[in-house]
Amino acid sequence: MRTLVINGKNFDSLEGLYKSLEPSFMKGDCPWGQNLDSLDEIVSHNFNYTEKKENDVDLIIWKDFQKSRNEIKERRGNNTVIEIIEAIFSKNDTIDFIKK
């Protein structure tokens, strides 16, 4: 199992968040569309498109989460994208999501 650490100090936009995730969060061959739908699909697969369960992410730690919440203001409908990402990360019962 793997831990994904998101460091809010490393970005101040949604594009920056996507770019910070890209290098380390997926195992296996699957294109990353850098959008909320792609993120939702990747999370549903535990960030793992291989047969090896040890590649599954079982913990996401988002450091400086409040900084990200304050800086990333984009909205989709009635929700901020941060609220949507929180929901995406939280709905997978096999992944613990910790905000620091």
For the stretch 51-72, pLDDT in tens is: 888 888 899 999 999 999 999 9
Listed in sequence order, the residues at least 6 apart from 13 whose beta carbon sits closer than 8 Å to its beta carbon are 71, 72
Asked if 59 contacts 68 with a C-beta cutoff of 8 angstroms, the reply is: no
- pLDDT confidence of residue 26: 59
Separation CA 94–CA 99 (nearest Å): 16
Listed by start position, the domains of the chain span 2-99
- Per-residue pLDDT, averaged over 24-49, amounts to 76
- pLDDT confidence of residue 69: 97
Q: Which CATH class is domain 2-99?
A: alpha beta
**What sign for the dihedral angle of Cα 80, 64, 21, 3?**
negative
Separation CA 19–CA 10 (nearest Å): 10
- pLDDT confidence of residue 33: 81
